[in-house]
Amino acid sequence: MRFNISFLFLLIAFASCTKSSNPSHIDLQKQIDDCENQLKIAVPKLTDLTKHPRLIDKDKKEWKEVTNDKLIWTSGFYPGVLWYAYDITGNERWKNEAIKRTEVFEDFQNIKEHHDIGFMMFPAYGNGYKISGKKEYKDILLNSAASLASRFNPNVGTIKSWSNKMHPRWKQHITIIDNMLNLELLFWAAKNGGDQKYYDIAVRHAETTMKNHFRKDLTSWHVLEYDSINGNVLNRHTKQGFADDSRWSRGQAWGVYGYTMVYKETKDKKYLDFAKKLADTYLSLLPHDMVPAWDFDVQSNPKEEKDASAAAIVASSLMDLSTFVDSETDQERYFNAGVEILKSLGSEKYSAVGKADSFLLHSTGAKSLGHEIDVALIYADYYYIEALSRLQKLQSKK
C-alpha cells in the first residue's frame, strides 16, 4: 500500500497535537514524586527554626533562608508546602516537619502592621487545620482573622494592605491586588465560629476591589491609594510591576485566584463571572509555554525574565474554577489550561530537579525593585504543590 506522504505527515501532526492537548498525558505521579524527592534533598538542610526558606538565587542550588520576621510575608509558605506534601503523599515525615515549621510563629496571629497575616497564617495553620485536623490551630486562626479585620476601613470598603511608613510614596489608604488572597482567612473564620462581620468585610473588600482595581480590559493595577475619609480613588500605581499602568503578571494571577476563591466562599454568581473573565484575560495574554514574563507589558522582549510563581498561582485556581463553571466546554477549557500550565512547570525548562533544591525555577519577585530576578521562590513551590494536590483530587473523583 502506498501512502501519500503529506497524508502521513498530517496523521503524525494530528497524533502529536492530540497527545499534547490531551490532559490525561500529564504524568501527575511523576510531578508529585519529583516534589517529594526535592523535599528529601532540601528538608535535612533546613534545620534553623528561626528562619524559613525564601528563594534560591539564579545558578545557586540551596535555599536562602530569611528570619521569621513579622514584616516578612513569606513565612507561611514553607510549612504550607510541607502540609500539601503530607496531603498528596500520606508520608508522616512531612506532617511532622510541617507541625514543627508551623508552630514557630504562633505569635504572628497578632500582627496588625500589614495585611500579609493572611498569607502568613493560612497556608501554615489553615492547611494544618484542614489537612490534618489540628483543632488547636482554630483559635490561632480566629485571632489572625481578628487582626486582619482590624485593618478594614469602612469608609473605603477595603482592608489597608500596607503602612504608609513602609511605603511612603502613598500617604493614605493603600490596597494592593494581592490582598484578595487574605480574604480566605476571613471567610474561614466566619464559618468556623468567628464573628459574621468577617464575612461581610471580605465581601465588601471583594466588591470594592472589583469596582476600582481593574481596567476596562480586565487587567489590574497593583497598588490603589484611596482617600481614607471619603473612599475616593486617589491614585492607581505599581510597586512590583514594570510601570504604573502596566500589567504585572503576579498581580493578574492574584486576581484570578482571589475571585475564584470569593465565588467558592460566597456562591454569588457575579464573582464567578468575574473570575472567568479574569482567567480568560490572563490566558489570552500567555506565551506559548504558558508561563508569563514577570510583567505582560515587557513580554515581547524574550530577554525579560519569567515568573513561574504567577503560573503556579493561576494553575491552582484553574483547578477550582473548572469545577465551578456550568458548561462542560468551560469545565474542560479551564481544566485543560491548568493542566497545560502544570505540564510546562514540571518540564525540563521550569523544573528544578537536578539543578536546585526547590520544585520550580524561573520566578521573579520584584524586578522593578532590583531583587529576586529569575530565582526560585517558596510561594511558587507552594501554589505549584497546591495545584498538584487539587489535580490529584479531581482525578481521583473521576
Q: Based on CB atoms, which residue is closest to ligand GLY, 203 or 312?
A: 312
Tell me the closest approach of the beta carbon of residue 235 to ligand GLY, in angstroms: 19
Query: Among 139, 107, 119, 11, which residue's Cα sits nearest to residue 73?
Result: 119
Q: What is the DSSP string of 47-108?
A: --TTEEEEEE-TT--SPEEEE--TT-TTTTHHHHHHHHHHHHH--HHHHHHHHHHHGGGGGG
Residue with cell 473605603: 156
Judged by CB under 6 A, the chain residues 60 through 89 that form the site for ligand GLY are: 73
Tell me the closest approach of the beta carbon of residue 207 to ligand GLY, in angstroms: 21
What does the block give as the cell for 171? 500617604
Q: Based on CB atoms, which residue is closest to ligand GLY, 296 or 324?
A: 296
Instruction: Please identify the residue of the shown chain whose CB is closest to the bound ligand GLY.
Output: 178
Q: State how far the alpha carbon of 288 is from the alpha carbons of 22, 154, 250, 312, in Å.
A: 16, 43, 18, 16
Tell me the closest approach of the beta carbon of residue 115 to ligand GLY, in angstroms: 9
Q: Based on CB atoms, which residue is closest to ligand GLY, 239 or 333?
A: 239
State phi, psi for 84 to the nearest 5 degrees.
-65, -35
Tell me the closest approach of the beta carbon of residue 253 to ligand GLY, in angstroms: 9
Tell me the closest approach of the beta carbon of residue 47 to ligand GLY, in angstroms: 27
Residues with active-site annotation: 116, 178
Q: Based on CB atoms, which residue is closest to ligand GLY, 101 or 115?
A: 115
Q: Based on CB atoms, which residue is closest to ligand GLY, 178 or 225?
A: 178
Query: Residue 178 interacts with ligand GLY (CB under 6 A)?
Result: yes
**Upper half-sphere CA count for residue 345 (Cβ side, 13 Å):** 36
Q: Based on CB atoms, which residue is closest to ligand GLY, 220 or 240?
A: 240
Tell me the closest approach of the beta carbon of residue 178 to ligand GLY, in angstroms: 4
SS (H, E, C) 226-293: ECCCCCCEEEEECCCCCCCCCCEHHHHHHHHHHHHHHHHHHCCHHHHHHHHHHHHHHHHCCCCCCCCE
Q: Based on CB atoms, which residue is closest to ligand GLY, 346 or 365?
A: 365
Looking at 68, 153, 238, 240, which residue binds ligand GLY (CB under 6 A)? 240
Judged by CB under 6 A, the chain residues 275 through 304 that form the site for ligand GLY are: none
Alpha carbon distance 120, 111 (integer Å): 10
Strands 376-377, 223-226: pairing is unpaired
Q: What is the DSSP letter of 398?
A: -
Query: Residue 250 interacts with ligand GLY (CB under 6 A)?
Result: yes
Tell me the closest approach of the beta carbon of residue 351 to ligand GLY, in angstroms: 22
Query: Residue 374 interacts with ligand GLY (CB under 6 A)?
Result: no
Provide the Cα torsion 360, 162, 76, 191; round to 10°: -120
The amino acid at 76: G
**Upper half-sphere CA count for residue 370 (Cβ side, 13 Å):** 0
Element at 346 (helix H, strand E): none
What does the block give as the cell for 299? 513580554
* Count of residues interacting with ligand GLY (CB under 6 A): 5
Binding footprint of ligand GLY on the chain (CB under 6 A): 73, 178, 240, 250, 365
